Structure 1
Amino acid sequence: MSMLIEVWGDYACFSRPEMKTERVSYDIMTPSAARGLVEAIYWHPGMKYHIDRIYLLKPVQFASIRRNEVKATLLSSAVLSAAKGGEVPMLCTAENIQQRAALVLQDVHYVIECHFTMTEKAAPGDNPGKFQDILRRRLAKGQCYHQPCFGCREFPANFREWHGRAEDIPALPLTQDLGFMLYDLDYSDPENIRSQFFRAKLENGVLDCRDVEVFT
């Protein structure tokens, strides 16, 4: 069942994977980021979201900022050892902070058009109407599992259901070739998680993510 979700915020960063140290955002929200945002509002193992279109409602604006980031991480093996009674791993934030530049999006506003399908993990009492009603109630009340964000946790996203037809969404009249964009991650082989890309193009302010040719 198709849903229209309006999202907006002050900043966003949909990091391009080819940039190594410094973060550089894509020009628009990626399909995987849109799916993650919707899943933050409502997720259930019996359903799977599919992003159909992303509508651009405000001009693309970039801003250069500097952010403090922690350059070290804790090993999962050390955490597992601590859970079994071993030594508790420590990470001194003051010694591991470094400043990095980031080219982020500013004053973003989109409408996400998506639908979901049922999975084999759905319970006998689950059905599409039930899931759609739950999602709509959460959108109306501003409820979520965790705060939806635009790429980074420090860039929170506001959200609500878009009441109206997709044809009436006031997308910007902008057509632009966006090059190769991250589509999603392929988890079919947990030992070899692969990035999936597609050739993205903005047509009259709409990024169409349906039936795209995916490259791995």
Structure 2
Amino acid sequence: MSMLIEVWGDYACFSRPEMKTERVSYDIITPSAARGLVEAIYWHPGMKYHIDRIYLLNPVRFTNIRRNEVKSTLLSSAALSAAKGGAAPVLYTSADIQQRAALVLQDVHYVIECHFTMTDKAAPGDNPGKFQDILRRRLNKGQCYHQPCFGCREFPANFREWPAGEPIPALPVTQDLGFMLYDLDYADPENIQPQFFRAKLVDGVLDCRNVEVFT
């Protein structure tokens, strides 16, 4: 069952993996980021989202910002040790903080067209109509499991269901976006593989269906 979800916000950063130190965003939201955004609104183990198309409603605009980040992380093993009575893990931000530049998107606005399929984890009483009704109700009420974001948690995303029957005013832009992250392959949890595809905007629409995926 296909759904149209409108999302918009002030800033977005869908980081290119080839940029190691400073963050540089893709020109448009990636399929994996779009799926994560929809899952933040409603997720259930009995369903799996598939991104079909992404419609570009605002021109692609970049801006430079500088952000304070920490260079260290707290290991899960340290937290587990603390839970068993060991010393509590500590992160000294004054010593670990560092300032990084980022090339991010500004004033983003998209419509995400997606559908979902049932998985083997669905309960006997689950069905597509039930899940679609729940998702539509959460979209109309602005409910979510956690705040959807555009790549980084400090870039929150507003969302609503696109009105039924209303045409989508995608920008008349046709552009080759090069290789873009499609998704992550979790078939082998010990060796998670990124998947890429050749992305192209055609009349403001990024078609994510039946694409050739490279690993």
TM-score per shorter chain, which class?
over 0.9
What residue is the counterpart of 2:212 in the other structure? Answer: 213
- Please say if 1:143 is aligned against 2:143: yes
Unpaired stretches in structure 2, ≥5 consecutive residues: none
Encode CA deviations 1:104-159: one digit per residue, 9 max, x unaligned.
00000000000000000000000000000000000000000000000000000000
What residue is the counterpart of 2:38 in the other structure? Answer: 38
| CA–CA separation in structure 2 for the residues paired with 1:178 and 1:105 | 15
- Please say if 1:47 is aligned against 2:42: no
Q: Which residue identity lines up with residue 125 of structure 2 in the other structure? A: G
TM-score, structure 1 as length reference:
0.98
Structure 1 runs (4+) greater than 3 angstroms displaced: none
| CA–CA separation in structure 2 for the residues paired with 1:135 and 1:4 | 11
* Larger CA deviation: 22-31 vs 89-98: 89-98
| Shift in Å, 1:55 | 0.1
Q: Which aligned pairs between 1:66-215 and structure 2 lie closer than 5 A?
A: 66-165=66-165, 168-215=167-214
| CA–CA separation in structure 2 for the residues paired with 1:119 and 1:155 | 31
Give the match's secondary structure for 1:29: coil
| Shift in Å, 1:81 | 1.1
| CA–CA separation in structure 2 for the residues paired with 1:150 and 1:165 | 26
Give the match's secondary structure for 1:38: helix
| CA–CA separation in structure 1 for the residues paired with 2:165 and 2:199 | 24
Encode CA deviations 1:77-103: one digit per residue, 9 max, x unaligned.
111111222111110112111000000
| CA–CA separation in structure 1 for the residues paired with 2:27 and 2:170 | 15
What residue is the counterpart of 1:56 in the other structure? Answer: 56
| Shift in Å, 1:165 | 3.8
Unpaired stretches in structure 1, ≥5 consecutive residues: none
TM-score, structure 2 as length reference:
0.99
Encode CA deviations 1:34-63: one digit per residue, 9 max, x unaligned.
000000000000000000000000000000
| Shift in Å, 1:164 | 2.6
Q: Which residue identity lines up with residue 137 of structure 1 in the other structure? A: R
Give the match's secondary structure for 1:137: helix
Encode CA deviations 1:181-205: one digit per residue, 9 max, x unaligned.
0000011101000100000000000
| CA–CA separation in structure 2 for the residues paired with 1:79 and 1:165 | 51
RMSD of the alignment, in Å?
0.8
Q: Which residue identity lines up with residue 164 of structure 1 in the other structure? A: A
